[in-house]
Structure formats: C-alpha cells, structure tokens
Structure 1
C-alpha cells in the first residue's frame, strides 16, 4: 500500500458561523478561526476542514453558493481568508475547503441567466424539464421536504433541486459545467489550499429519462448515477492529480463496493468517502430521523466493522461520529448526564480513533459538547431541514404532534451541532461579546461544558483526544493495522484488535452504565495499557463506559 500524508492525519472540522465571532456581530467568521488556531494546534490535529465560506444568500447556511470565488461577507473578505491560510500553514496546519458542486444558489449568475429563456447560453447549465400531464416530471423528493421539482413561470418548465428550491441542481452532462467547476477548483488549489470535502458528490450524475417508462423506471434516489465515475475520473485527471492534496466525498447511499469505485487505491477518483450507514442505526424506515428509535450496539458494530474489513487494503476509511449535519455523539451513542458525559465521550472517541482510517473531529466534540435541550419551540431552530420537516409533518400532514416533533428535533436536528462553540462560562460562552445576540442560541450547559474548563482539567475530554492524536503519530499500527471484531453479539461491549508488522492492539469498550465482567477485558499477555478513561485497570471488570487500549510490548 502506498502511504499518503492524509492517511496519517487527523482532521478538525470548523463550522465558521458557530466557531468564533471576531467583529461583534453574533456570527462566527474567518478572523475568529484565525484567532483560535493555537487552540486547534494544541489538540494535535493536522488539517482544518472549513464548511462553506463562499458568497451565499444563506438559505442553507452557505450550501447555496452564489459566487464560488468570493467570500460571504458574514465571514469577512478574501484578504481574511488569505491571512488565515498563511497563518495556518505557518503553524503546520492544512486547510481543506468544502466543495459544493451538485447545485448552486438560484442567485448564482449561471442560474439567473439560465432561467431567462430556453435559448440562453446558460440554459443547459441546469436541469430543465417540461411538465408531464400538467405535473412535475417525476416523484423525486427534495431532501428538505416536498417535490424536487420547482415550476418556473418565465419559461413554463420545471427545474430540478434535490435540496432547497433555492439550490438548483447543475447539469453535469454539459461539458461547459464540468470545465467551469474544474477551473474554479484549480483557482482555489493554486491559492494553496490542501484539498476538498465534496458535498453530496455522488448525486452529480442524473438519469436522462426523468419520466418513468417500462424500460426506464425512475430511481427513488438519484445517487451513484450512470456517469458519476466518468465525471470524477475527469475531475481527477484535469485537476486533482496535479496537486498533493486530500479529497473526501460525501456519498449518501453507498456501500463498501461503491466506495471501492469512488476511493479505491486504484480508482483515480477520490481519496476517501463519507458513508452514512452507521448514521442510520437509530432511524425509522418510514420517517427516518424524525421518528428516532432505540439503536442496538450489535448493529452499530456490524456496520462499522464491515467497512473496516471490506475496505482494508483496497481503499481508505473516513472515521467520524459528528459533523454539521449530525447530532452530538455523546447524546446519541453515549450518555450526556453530568455523571457519565466525560467518561462516555472519551470512550466513544477511543472506539472511533483506534479503527483504520482518517479520523474527523467536529468542533466541540473534543470537549464533550452535547445536544441542545433548551430549544422548546420550532421558532428556536434555524435549520431549513428542521423547519421544513416541522411544517410538513406537523402542520400540513399531522403525521407527528408538536411534542413528538420537538422530541425528534432534540434528538436529530442539525442545529444540535450548530450552536456556538463553548469557549468559557462568560455570557455567550466567549463566542460573541455580552450584549450581542448570537445568530443561534447557545446550549444552556456552556457554563460547565466549555474549553476554559476543559483546558484547566487534566482529566478532561480535550486532553484524552490530545493523547489519542499523540499516540497515532507514535504507533503506526493505529493508522495501518488490520481490524478484527471480537464477540459481535455482545450488546454491551465493543472489542476489536488491530495487527500490523508483528504488533497487536486490543480495544475493549463498555457502552453501558453497568459494571460488567468480560474475560477479554483483562490485559492480554505481554501488553501495556496505553490508554484508558479510568485511573486503574481492574482486569476483567469493565466499569460504566470504560474503555481500555492494550498494545503488545
């Protein structure tokens, strides 16, 4: 296996709007990120992934881009970005940008031209279709509720939007679209950025037959379309292969065999993908995350272990619990009570970081930030997905009651990840000054869960994550070792081994608040305990949320 720098890296994801406000307007910005670079460096990571900072009307918090080569004024200027990039590089930190090219904003120049007339030069930059019997071309649904087709009076056709109606999908069949995107990517890479995280990149290829026929039934979800690999190979050939960078594709609806096509070591497309199978273990078949149900550890282990073994030696895993679209992991798969929050946050971190792949830490994960429980009305939520789902499921169709939906939002809303970073216990948690209203409310527990408290406590989640990052650089087995799951049917513990060049690592984790006994929790022969979230080792006894990592001497 050829080794690449991104395999040995740890990535820290920054959601700029919620990270640090430097100009006292209640919105995080690029100068705020720059002010916190020493903190990020102290954690021991190598790469910062920035969520979109491009010019945008902000219908979907920056994922609706109106100008790919300008900075959203909320976040600052291009000079601010250049200063951030320069200072990050000086500190040995790389910067990866979010690439959002399945769709643009409806306020992008391309779309504003495209909708003017059917013969406009930009018409074919987007996907336009005639009505079918007076209705939308097919029954595709937007990820943000409702139809994926929007009728436009100007020309009497529908345009496709798999997300908000203000996010029209680009037509990747048009080579002019592809070349425009590739030119833009090269422009950023020539600036010196270190790679791209590619938003829903496996949705860019759509079927040509939108109206269903016997020969061409319409797929329910246009993922992994007929030409997606051609487009990504072309992107790699014309752009990516010319730079020493890192690429990760967000790819909903993929399985390991798909990942081998996108990110196999010989695929010449991407370096790795984000898969979502493990993010669905607590979702309902009908209503998805809006009717969450009890998850099973055996199911979570089965899914993640499958990805470990099926990609081993053939492709590279991305490892994540959290991001800007997912609830906080300590509330989801751990225990966010004051008694167990720190212990279970450490346990979850270790279970993830000692698997094979590149780990991603989402801002606040390293201090054990939790889901927000002080949002008790839909008016408290800012996220378009959450608000549209409430309108659809509660107000329009009465599928859920208000109380049921608020409970679901507490569990699943993307806003759980988007409340401001909790820096200290002052008013507004040090995110923005007292007297300034943050763009979204803070989580009420910032007075106890914050960076200042974490840095003052040698037993905090922060220093545990820092130790994991140090160990990764010390022991190649953590990066490259082969993974084997032990006792897959145990509903309370997750135990696996890693083996590399004659060394063996064993991790055992208790996912329950019970004290239990397992023979394999005792130290294997000729090993050292290199990490634990308790001060002592009680052999085969596993205390609540205990994790132990042993390495052969």
Structure 2
C-alpha cells in the first residue's frame, strides 16, 4: 500500500473558537456506569454525588457530553437495565435532588448530559407488570402475553437474545409472556397507546430536569411480527456474519419475525417528536455485526441523530476491517465510533495487547474517525480487561455461558482513582466488584505524566475538537493487511493519519519526517508497533485511497 505524503512542512494546528460549533454533529461522549464510577457513601457502589465529585476530571478530558447508564429504580438483575421505575432514582445512587445537582454542575462545566432510556422492556417488578399478573387486562395489553399452543408449549420458536426461549409461562394468568432478554425483563408492547404515552411523558420528565438528550437501549429489538410466525433457520449468509464462537443458539435463527428493524426505525420518528428537535438522540443497534445499513436507517432525517452498532468492537482488529466500515458508511457519519462499553470487554485487551502503546493507538484512531465518538469510563487510562472468577461474577449473560463468557462484567469493575489498593480511591468500603489493578493505571499515577495514556487521550480529544476533522468535508481511506491510512479534510485543511497494525517498524517517506500533530510511537522516520500519527498535509495532495465520504 502506498502512503501519500505531504510535499511541504507540517503547518502547526491553530485552535479555533468553538462558540458556534454545533456539538451535535460529531460529539465526543463519555459514558459513565454509575455503580462503578465513584462512591461517596462507603457502600462500595458508585453514586450520583460521586459523579458530581469527579465532573471536573471528566471536563478535563475535553469531551462534549456525558452519558449516564441507568440509575433508575431496579432490582439489578441485569446491571440496571431491568427498570421498575423510569422516573425514580434508585436509593443506592442517591435522590432526584442529587440528579438535579449533577445536571447543574455538568452545565456549569459546559458538559451536556445524556441519560439512558430502556423502552424495550421493564423489570418484572414494574407495577404495570405486577398488575397484569394480578388480572388487570388493560396493563396486560401493555406487555406481550399470548396463550399457549394446544399442547401447552410456547406460542412460537423465538429465542431470547441471551439464548434461552423468549417465552416464560405464568401460572396465574395461564399465559406466556415475551422477553427479548432475561425472563425478568418482559417486553413492552410499544405499539400500545398507553405505553407510548408513558414514554412520551418520561422523556418530558427528564427534559424538564435539564437533560440534553438520550441514549436508547436496543432500538433494533423494539418491534416484532404481530402474527408471531416462527423464525426460519439461519441461512449461510446470516451465519457468515457471526463473529467468534457460536455458543449462543440465538445465532442459528434468521430473525426475520422477532425483530423488525425497519418498522423500529420508523418508530423512532415518534421518539423524535416526543423529545423535540433539540435533544441529541442516540440508539443502540445490538442485532450483530455488519449492521451499518440497519443503523443508518435509524438515523435518517426526523429520527435519531446517531445509531451505533457492535461492529467496531466485534468485527475484529485490522486495517481492512476499518476500511470496510468507513466505506460502508459512505460519508454518512451517523454511526458513532466506540471500542469499549458496559457490555463489551475492554478493547485494550481484545483489540490491543494491554499495553499503553495500544491504548494510545486506539485513542488516536478514535480522534480522527469521522463522526461521533463514545469513550467508556476508564478507557482513557488504558485499562485492560479484568479477570473475574465465577464466584465474583454476577452478570447473567456471563454466567449463562461460563467459562466462555462475553466478558460483560469486566468493564464494570470500578475504575482506579488512586494507587491505594484498599479501594483505589473509588470507595472507603468494599467495592462491589474486586479491584486488582496493576500499579500505574490510576488517575493519580497518570495525571502528571506527560507521556501517560490519560494525557494522550486529552491530547486526542483536544485535537478532535480544535480541528473539526471528525465532521469532514471529504474522506478517503487506504489499507493493507498491516497499515491503515486515512485522509480527512475540512475547511480547506487536510490531514493524513497512518496506523501501524503490524509488529514491525513501518518506515515513512522522508517528506513526512516532521513532528505529527497527534500520535505515538513515532521515531522521526518510522512508526513502531502500535504506532499512529496524524500530519497536516497540503489540500491538493494526490490521494490514492478509496472514497469514504
């Protein structure tokens, strides 16, 4: 692969005013899992006041917004995504007044606030579901109850996304109820007017409290075939899209009836109407990899602003993977980039090799990829994926396939603020998950080290904001088995980013030996293993890459 190089010296980056920048076009968002962020009560679990206490730190990263994972009333069977009250703060996290203070402090720091919304299902302990069990047919219509087949079996062959059947029998109603995930997460009937009214009012409740937008969980699971037809077996083309081990039987069906993402995408027009034109709306497409086209349908005009997929984390590592994703987007930068989440293992172990070098590499990549970027708490420290024993694991999906787990609980291990191994500055009590971080990973250890992963992330986010290159006028990409080269331009300025995925030294032509604007692993003439660099280049430089925008 030929690397295009500039014909003149690098022009120093000039900071520009962001007063009139539309933050919604290509925001950088810091995702916070409240239970694992910062504990102020000694309970061993994070809380809202703990987030307030650390907001100055978040602001120092240079991000535009925070996304709060669920802090609502929940029995915590699925990490808070089983909600019993969509407008109540779980007492473990604090009070609604604490939430109001959090929003106020974030806005003082010019941070926008997004909160999670789980529309697909509720907890089994939600008052509506309990009423439906007790014979309230109006509330029953808000869920998906169906009679058994004549032989007493479930209405159809649908599987939950965790693998077991998607139907659970309730002996009091003598019916089955549908659930896309755990049996304690019954699906709501999102077509029902009362459900729509409840969610419209819920969005307004949080907007009235000052939030700037919402992240919507599992939007591709919202709607299903009303005729409840059986899913057929997965065709070879469907199975070919499955990455990793196919230990989950869900992979063996073609989900053409239990998931109607086209209808779900149109449904988000309702959500846009309820939330209004100014709220930032982000959806999660969780239907597997290679789902870019599906995600883009959710982010069409009048729908969500963005919809992210599992592709960046699940399709594997390599230049050709990222080239394929960029070309699939085709200049429609509506699928945010991310590598780690509360549901996905820490990418510095899965995509990288756990070293500071690979952490910096992905920070630089996140800085230049066009569109929105989502960082998950602790990513900026280069944290590796923690190893937990079965006895230390409570996540139901991890336990279901133990020891071949998807690793969902690992990224939820609380992050280290200090080097004090008693609680790493996270808590004065016993952390809800064991913390066994290596020396040097904490915020305290990295704060004053100019070469730390933390400070590289700060530089990467600053470069993102100041150049505006992630909202480009043009983009092209070239790749080989070991090298990715990305060219972006905006406002008459152009940049070339080169990423060395190989284990070898990558020489760079002599015309390009000036200091990069951003990067790591640069020797002055070559990129080391996990080396990445972004240079300013002449706008009229010849480009041999394929268009990605």
Q: TM-score range by the shorter chain?
A: 0.7 to 0.9
Aligned to 1:445: 437
Aligned to 1:364: 378
Aligned to 1:548: 533
Structure 2: distance between partners of 1:476 and 1:432:
38
- Partner SS, residue 430 of structure 1: coil
Aligned to 2:309: 275
Please state if 1:471 is matched with 2:471: no
Equivalent residues of 1:497, 1:506 under 8 A apart: yes
- Partner SS, residue 49 of structure 2: helix
Structure 1: distance between partners of 2:285 and 2:458:
29
- Structure 1 window deviating more from structure 2 (447-456 vs 103-112): it is 447-456
Please state if 1:304 is matched with 2:325: yes
Structure 2: distance between partners of 1:11 and 1:213:
37
Structure 2: distance between partners of 1:523 and 1:179:
62
Structure 2: distance between partners of 1:256 and 1:296:
17
Equivalent residues of 1:278, 1:303 under 8 A apart: no
- Partner SS, residue 546 of structure 1: strand
- Partner SS, residue 479 of structure 1: coil
Structure 2: distance between partners of 1:9 and 1:230:
24
| Distance apart, 1:196 and its partner CA | 0.4
| Distance apart, 1:523 and its partner CA | 4.8
Please state if 1:228 is matched with 2:264: yes
Structure 2: distance between partners of 1:113 and 1:513:
60
Structure 2: distance between partners of 1:389 and 1:41:
38
- Partner SS, residue 124 of structure 2: coil
Please state if 1:64 is matched with 2:82: yes
Structure 1 residues 13-24: aligned runs within 5 Å? 13-24=31-42
Equivalent residues of 2:73, 2:88 under 8 A apart: yes
Structure 2: distance between partners of 1:3 and 1:428:
40
Measured at CA, do residues 296 and 115 of structure 1 come closer, stay the same or move farther in structure 2, by a change above 3 Å?
A: same
| Distance apart, 1:127 and its partner CA | 0.3
Equivalent residues of 1:296, 1:491 under 8 A apart: no
- Partner SS, residue 505 of structure 1: strand
Please state if 1:429 is matched with 2:421: no
Aligned to 1:241: 276
Structure 2: distance between partners of 1:52 and 1:361:
17
Equivalent residues of 1:317, 1:356 under 8 A apart: no
| Distance apart, 1:302 and its partner CA | 3.7
Asked which structure has the greater RCO (Cα within 8 Å, sep 6+), the reply is: 2
Which residue, 408, 412, 418 being the options, matches 1:414?
408
What per-residue deviation string (whole Å, max 9, x for no partner) do you get for residues 368-399 of structure 1? Answer: 011113x2x31121211101222xxxxxxxxx
Structure 1 residues 186-201: aligned runs within 5 Å? 186-201=204-219
Structure 1 residues 254-269: aligned runs within 5 Å? 255-264=291-300, 267-269=301-303
Which residue, 373, 396, 419 being the options, matches 1:384?
396
Please state if 1:252 is matched with 2:286: yes
Once superposed, what is the RMSD of the aligned Cα atoms?
Answer: 2.2
Structure 1: distance between partners of 2:443 and 2:231:
57
Aligned to 1:110: 128
Measured at CA, do residues 213 and 506 of structure 1 come closer, stay the same or move farther in structure 2, by a change above 3 Å?
A: closer
Aligned to 1:530: 517
Equivalent residues of 2:225, 2:257 under 8 A apart: no
Aligned to 1:286: none
Query: Could you state the TM-score of these two structures normalised by the residue count of structure 1?
Result: 0.85
| Distance apart, 1:221 and its partner CA | 6.8
Aligned to 1:400: none
Structure 2: distance between partners of 1:147 and 1:221:
15
Structure 2: distance between partners of 1:148 and 1:299:
36
| Distance apart, 1:6 and its partner CA | 1.6
Aligned to 2:153: 135
Structure 2: distance between partners of 1:416 and 1:477:
33
| Distance apart, 1:514 and its partner CA | 2.4
Structure 2: distance between partners of 1:166 and 1:299:
40
Measured at CA, do residues 39 and 307 of structure 1 come closer, stay the same or move farther in structure 2, by a change above 3 Å?
A: farther
Structure 2: distance between partners of 1:335 and 1:229:
37
Which residue, 481, 485, 498 being the options, matches 1:491?
481
Measured at CA, do residues 218 and 506 of structure 1 come closer, stay the same or move farther in structure 2, by a change above 3 Å?
A: closer
Aligned to 1:285: none
Please state if 1:159 is matched with 2:177: yes
Equivalent residues of 1:510, 1:544 under 8 A apart: yes
| Distance apart, 1:353 and its partner CA | 1.9
Please state if 1:348 is matched with 2:362: yes
Structure 1: distance between partners of 2:455 and 2:275:
35
Equivalent residues of 2:40, 2:46 under 8 A apart: yes
What per-residue deviation string (whole Å, max 9, x for no partner) do you get for residues 390-447 of structure 1? Answer: 2xxxxxxxxxxxxxx2xx44xx4011210011111102211111xx2211111x2243
Structure 1: distance between partners of 2:179 and 2:118:
14
Number of residue pairs matched?
495
Equivalent residues of 2:292, 2:335 under 8 A apart: no
Measured at CA, do residues 296 and 153 of structure 1 come closer, stay the same or move farther in structure 2, by a change above 3 Å?
A: same
| Distance apart, 1:463 and its partner CA | 1.0
| Distance apart, 1:315 and its partner CA | 5.0
Query: Could you state the TM-score of these two structures normalised by the residue count of structure 2?
Result: 0.86
What per-residue deviation string (whole Å, max 9, x for no partner) do you get for residues 10-40 of structure 1? Answer: 1111110000010000000000000001111
Unaligned runs of 5+ in 1: 282-294, 391-404
What per-residue deviation string (whole Å, max 9, x for no partner) do you get for residues 308-362 of structure 1? Answer: 4x2x1x45231111111111111111111xxxx1111111111122011111111
